[in-house]
Structure 1
Amino acid sequence: MTDKDIPKIYSIKKTPKETLEKWFRLLSVGRAIDDKAPNYLKQAIGWSYHAPYAGHDGIQLAVGQVFEKNKDHLFLYYREMLTALSAGMTAEEIILNGISKATDPSSGGRHMSNHLAKPEWNIHSVSSSTGNHTLHAVGTARAIKYYGEKAVSISGQGESSVSEGYVYEAINGADKEELPVIFVIQDNGYGISVPKKDQTAQRKVANNFKGFKNLRIIHCNGKDVFDSMNAMEEAKKYAIEESKPVIVQANCVRMHSHSNSDDHLLYRSQSERNYVEEYDPLAKFKRLLIRYKRFTEEEIQTLEEDTKKTIKAAHKAAMSAPDPAPESVLDFVVPEPYVSQKYPDGLHNAEGEKKKMITALNETLKAEFRENPDTFIWGQDMANKDKGGIFNVSKGMQQEFGAERVFNAPIAEDFIVGTANGMSRYNEKIRVVVEGAEFADYFWPAMEQYVDTSHDYWRSNGKFSPNVTIRLASGGYIGGGMYHSQNLEGSLAAIPGVRIVYPSFADDAAGLLRTSIRSKGMTMFMEPKALYQAPQAATIVPDDFEVPFGKARIRKEGADISIITYGNTTHLSLQAAEKLQEEGLSVEVLDLRSLVPMDEEAIIKTVKKTNKVLIVHEDKVHGGFGGEVASFIMENAFEYLDAPVRRVGSTFTPVGFNRILEKAILPNTEKIYNAVKELVKY
């Protein structure tokens, strides 16, 4: 089917007058706000970021009109003010967002102005990173298809956003999975000041995707209300009936500068500016209404007077709304976690046979999938015959739970994490577990999605929590070298909004995984892969074991000095402690288990007890998480110290491949032993 074959449901002659009136009111109110927004900044009231939509009127009206709230899912980009208005948001709500009031339904003033959302209607909160929400739209469409709903997920974006790699990954994933998602590309020819010719060789950027098997591409005039409405109606019909993705490329113009911090006079000629003014979609629509005698000039004037009254009332209401309270900044950083009733301290006295860490993780995943049928897992190498993940942690899961809940993802880490974010938006019962990368070192391409997901809960003012557990096989001691033996937790811990856990033993791995999956919010679950099959990490594991976040565990009682550690180095520390015990030195070993949040009480308690502290971790000393622990001790327990806090970790180098180099770089029992011996002499 070509664009010419699209049924012409709407036209200036066929469309009912009441519908035309509704559209004209929306177009007029939207343009009035669009024109008024810069004045708020000039008066120092707010709206310090405004991206005018004038020239996109037809397509934005159409997207909002086909969107069905609480059924479809809508992901707006920063230029889609009219889409939000057309989808049902009020003029007052849009101005509240613009001037960042506490009652702004999009974020309560937490997010940039012009980033509109209403999560309770499925108008989702998105970040400022251009096009990244395409992955979220795909994840949501995956849920729509899985749960059998006749609905669509709609992603709005500019043509320049498709230069981003994750946009290609989103469209590729939607095509592969045959998902009901509509990518609306509003092409105004510019990415800020960069013309389209500097983005792509194609005159129409959607044509870059012509070779995709299941994808349909529809072109329309985004300046024309009727052409846009017909295109969007057809796109939605096709996406639902065929369960396949659609790109709607809408040809638009940008009548003004990119934003109020841009000046298009610096890069657009007078003739070009005159051209885009001539193609003003609102002016064209108004002329059509009068030319075809659908409305008289007097009727239009009455509607325009109503617009002025609407804007005046909305402005007055918004100006009287409260500002955000300074003390509210700590609200909605991380959701309240699942709380264990049976194991409040994450300890047990179970009896039975020991299990290796890999077995404990595998059995816990299966148990949680049985417990909650709305749990899903995907990643690379996740489900191919008898294989389950690169280390077989998820072995047997697809056989038991099916390919719709356990499946392979493309080799695209940001796709893995971004669609996890999106799928979790569909229903708060959903829990997603992903292998963020085959090895932790390969996770970096997903960092944009990780950062975005980390502040979703805060950014939405508590309206949306991405309930995602990211598993990463971490650390060295396997002779893996670069991209197979690095540690990330020191870097990740600087990003608020995510819990980070790092178990050392099988029971803690099981208990922390269970708590992570059951909790709302995002958890980074670091798995020391060198311990998967290690006998020293094997323990008795109760079937229902749960470990709370922020609860450390004493691995060995001592009186002379404390080692604070986690992950692989817990076992190295215990070996050093046993050797020192034989020499008459009593060493206490505290296994943090949870880094964010950290068990501050346990740390202070062990400092008070021994008065000397050695922090040991596998990551580099420089910039490693041990610096955070040391700083906490210095600020909160300095008076109990009889010596400086010392750290043992890796050298400030990558981890080498040759075993000789690896040994020289990573901490080991001897290095820990020597550090303790030196510290006790202080």
Structure 2
Amino acid sequence: MKNINKLHDLETPAVYSILKTPKEQLEAWYRLMTIGRMVDEKAPNYLKQALGWSYHAPYAGHDGIQLALGQIFHKEQDYLFPYYRDMLTCLSAGMTSEELILNGLSKASDPSSGGRHMSNHFAKPEINIENVSSCTGNHTLHAVGVARSLKYYKDEGVAFCSQGESSVSEGYVYEAINGASKEKLPVIFVFQDNGYGISVPKRDQTARRKVADNFRGFKNLRIIHCNGKDVFDSMNAMTEAYRWVKENQMPCIVHANCVRIHSHSNSDRHDLYRDDSELTYSKAYDPLAKFERLLLRYKIFTKEELSEIMKESREVVIKAHRKVIKAENPTPESIMDFVIPEPYFSNKYPEGLHQDQGPKKKLIEALNETLKAEFRYNPETFLYGQDMANKDKGGVFNVSKGMQKEFGKERIFNGPIAEDYIVGTANGMTRFKKQNIRVVIEGAEFADYFWPAMEQFVDSSHDYWRSNGKFSPNMTIRLASGGYIGGGIYHSQNIEGCLTTFPGVRIVYPSYADDVAGLLRTSIRSKGMTMFLEPKALYNSEVTATPIPDDFEVPFGKLKVRKRGDDLTVITYGNTTPMCVEVATELEKEGYSVEVIDLRSLIPLDMDGIKTSIAKTNKAIMIHEDKVFSGFGAEIVSQIMEQCFEQLDGPVKRIGATFTPVGFNQALEKATLPNKLSIRNAIVEILKY
């Protein structure tokens, strides 16, 4: 479908009306609106026939604003983040009816996700219609992130974010709009207000009648209201918003008053909470019917001409339907495709080992020097987070010290105390397709504070899979983890046991300086998301200081044998690694031969390396700082029992923290976390079994 509204004059905003708009354009709009409505009305029938479209949120009543949003969007330079009701938006923006139906029937050739994501979630990354999740409103953060990249690279584009008015109640939406106004970013937030969040009326969502007015006090932000049921008012509003954002490089909200003609979705019965008069009212304000009346009243078209266009639209949809019905479904084995991108691997250090004899460096030095080296290596690398960018300070632990001075404020900058905003906008930054962007963030000043960002962590973890391999958020999330510093709650907990349950993200937890450098380099250079957990108690440890070769690299999924032995395999990582090495060394003097293997990488896990060690020692113990109950070690022990049972000469024991929070008083912390004595006693117990 030709989109003829792509070259409007931005210097002199167009004023659209029934009399001032060329007939050719009115015809193009009518074709889009009729095709869209036919697909919208056909969608429930696919479900009744058990063909698909098990989730469908009809857009009827939003026609004006959705047509306008798609028309103003420029697929060559802009980025569009639609929501699940944006069928006409995506059709108007450049998708075809065939592609909409492919999505609805979850076919393998669906450009949105290849059948992996919920139906009615339309996308086509090839033309910058982005794949978004079902988490309502969270794509506001991605839109702000890509707008940050657009501004940094002085690109001509604008980011569009569309959503229902009820999703604006989410806290991360406020974070997104606050950040966009603070950073003065070219993003347009479109609120499609139909008065309901499923069955919850607007009065239960916000004190203001117009949710956009909640943002009246925000600086650098313009708010435009329009009638989302009216094509011309919507076109004028979107044109003005686009012109203003382009000229001022600041955000704008377009609040469109719509009407929801049908139920929220095919699983909802709106007659249970809307009375007959309201349902009659909503049908009376059908935007498509109003547009048809205008075209006839002002004699732009005759009834016969509109009937002919309607007939042609129906033929388009029928043809699309016939083609899609024959399309292949995704194969069951394809579930393993695109879980996580292939990592960077140069084969320079295939096992992540070296024999360098240079001066020893501590973890804090390894982090700082590797970050600087990678920022010199790739000028499209950025770093930000809380408390990260100051002249003489870089984070709570000074990991990024001196980076802003060398690389500038545009590449090294502070984020607000809003962890979800930090992660979400990092995701969005990497969507800018014209550069090889890598983003390093301090996800929270302490790992325990990462919980507000879990919504974006979860969303980002399945971005690559959900988009059928079309997008991966290329970011490294650093977290200062663990205890042994007397920090107490929110400063001493381990969270890897939770993080490792999510497919689609790499998780590393190095203990020694060379592994910190090597894994950080590999993480930054790799596509996809890596959680980089740092044992903060070892930042300045002499015990874990090592020589580090220039450009050292450690591949993911390769453990390291810290001490070789024959009687028992100790599996560990993080803060407990040097403790285990020390205990094993002491026990060697007593005639025991203990092998200590440092996982370094939790996801992917080097299970082959674990099995090789156990085949030699026939005994194993899992030792980590995290809680024994549901800690990551439970997964490892389970796999050992499944894969190594015949080789075991004793039970596989676990040592870790008690099933309690970590207290602040040092006596409480000591009683909670594993220590050399508890580690020694457990090892000896298994050795003597």
Q: If the TM-score is normalised by the length of the shorter chain, which range does it land in?
A: over 0.9
Separation of aligned partners in 1, 2:628 and 2:674: 10
Separation of aligned partners in 1, 2:562 and 2:685: 22
* Poorly superposed stretches of 4+, deviation over 6 Å: none
Separation of aligned partners in 1, 2:97 and 2:172: 33
2:457 aligned to which of 442, 450, 453 = 450
Kindly indicate whether the alpha-carbon contact (under 8 Å) linking 2:14 and 2:239 is maintained by their aligned counterparts in 1. no
Which letter maps to 1:260? Answer: N
Indicate whether 1:103 and 2:109 are aligned. yes
2:599 aligned to which of 566, 582, 592 = 592
Question: Secondary structure of the equivalent of 2:543?
Answer: helix
Structure 2, unpaired ranges of 5+: 1-11
Q: For residue 61 of structure 1, what is the aligned residue in structure 2?
A: 67
- Superposition deviation, residue 629 in structure 1: 0.8
Indicate whether 1:214 and 2:225 are aligned. no
Q: For residue 465 of structure 1, what is the aligned residue in structure 2?
A: 472
Indicate whether 1:396 and 2:441 are aligned. no
Q: For residue 522 of structure 1, what is the aligned residue in structure 2?
A: 529
Separation of aligned partners in 1, 2:581 and 2:498: 26
- Superposition deviation, residue 639 in structure 1: 1.1
Separation of aligned partners in 2, 1:158 and 1:70: 26
**Deviations, residues 600-654 of structure 1 (Å, cap 9, x unaligned):** 1110011011011011000000011101111111111111110011110000011
Q: For residue 306 of structure 1, what is the aligned residue in structure 2?
A: 312
1:569 aligned to which of 559, 571, 576 = 576
Indicate whether 1:440 and 2:441 are aligned. no
Kindly indicate whether the alpha-carbon contact (under 8 Å) linking 1:608 and 1:640 is maintained by their aligned counterparts in 2. yes
Separation of aligned partners in 2, 1:404 and 1:65: 33
**Deviations, residues 223-253 of structure 1 (Å, cap 9, x unaligned):** 0001101111111111111000000000000
State how 1:39-188 maps to structure 2 within 5 Å. 39-188=45-194
State how 1:490-501 maps to structure 2 within 5 Å. 490-501=497-508
Indicate whether 1:549 and 2:549 are aligned. no
Number of residue pairs the alignment of both structures matches: 677
Q: Percent identity?
A: 70
- Superposition deviation, residue 70 in structure 1: 2.9
Separation of aligned partners in 2, 1:269 and 1:666: 60
Separation of aligned partners in 2, 1:661 and 1:574: 25
The TM-score with structure 2 as length reference comes to: 0.98
- Superposition deviation, residue 151 in structure 1: 1.2
1:12 aligned to which of 18, 28, 33 = 18
Kindly indicate whether the alpha-carbon contact (under 8 Å) linking 2:113 and 2:466 is maintained by their aligned counterparts in 1. yes
Kindly indicate whether the alpha-carbon contact (under 8 Å) linking 1:340 and 1:547 is maintained by their aligned counterparts in 2. no
Separation of aligned partners in 2, 1:453 and 1:618: 27
Separation of aligned partners in 1, 2:410 and 2:451: 27
Which letter maps to 2:591? Answer: G
- Superposition deviation, residue 267 in structure 1: 0.3
Indicate whether 1:513 and 2:513 are aligned. no
Which letter maps to 1:533? Answer: N
Q: For residue 298 of structure 2, what is the aligned residue in structure 1?
A: 292
Question: Secondary structure of the equivalent of 2:459?
Answer: helix
Separation of aligned partners in 2, 1:659 and 1:129: 41
Which letter maps to 2:395? Answer: G
1:671 aligned to which of 654, 675, 678 = 678
2:278 aligned to which of 244, 269, 272 = 272
State how 1:581-620 maps to structure 2 within 5 Å. 581-620=588-627
Question: Secondary structure of the equivalent of 2:671?
Answer: helix
Kindly indicate whether the alpha-carbon contact (under 8 Å) linking 1:58 and 1:223 is maintained by their aligned counterparts in 2. yes
Indicate whether 1:228 and 2:237 are aligned. no
Kindly indicate whether the alpha-carbon contact (under 8 Å) linking 1:564 and 1:589 is maintained by their aligned counterparts in 2. yes
Q: For residue 417 of structure 2, what is the aligned residue in structure 1?
A: 411
Separation of aligned partners in 2, 1:406 and 1:432: 10
Indicate whether 1:657 and 2:660 are aligned. no
Separation of aligned partners in 2, 1:299 and 1:70: 33
Question: Secondary structure of the equivalent of 2:506?
Answer: strand
Kindly indicate whether the alpha-carbon contact (under 8 Å) linking 1:70 and 1:120 is maintained by their aligned counterparts in 2. no
Question: Secondary structure of the equivalent of 1:238?
Answer: helix
The TM-score with structure 1 as length reference comes to: 0.99
Question: Secondary structure of the equivalent of 1:285?
Answer: helix
Q: For residue 3 of structure 1, what is the aligned residue in structure 2?
A: none
Q: For residue 533 of structure 1, what is the aligned residue in structure 2?
A: 540
Separation of aligned partners in 2, 1:601 and 1:562: 14
Which letter maps to 2:263? Answer: S
Question: Secondary structure of the equivalent of 2:523?
Answer: helix
1:482 aligned to which of 489, 497, 501 = 489
Which letter maps to 1:89? Answer: M
Which letter maps to 2:483? Answer: G
Separation of aligned partners in 2, 1:273 and 1:342: 68
Q: CA RMSD in A?
A: 0.8
Separation of aligned partners in 1, 2:51 and 2:14: 44
Indicate whether 1:189 and 2:195 are aligned. yes
- Superposition deviation, residue 8 in structure 1: 5.3
Kindly indicate whether the alpha-carbon contact (under 8 Å) linking 1:379 and 1:416 is maintained by their aligned counterparts in 2. yes
Which letter maps to 1:430? Answer: I
Which letter maps to 1:314? Answer: A
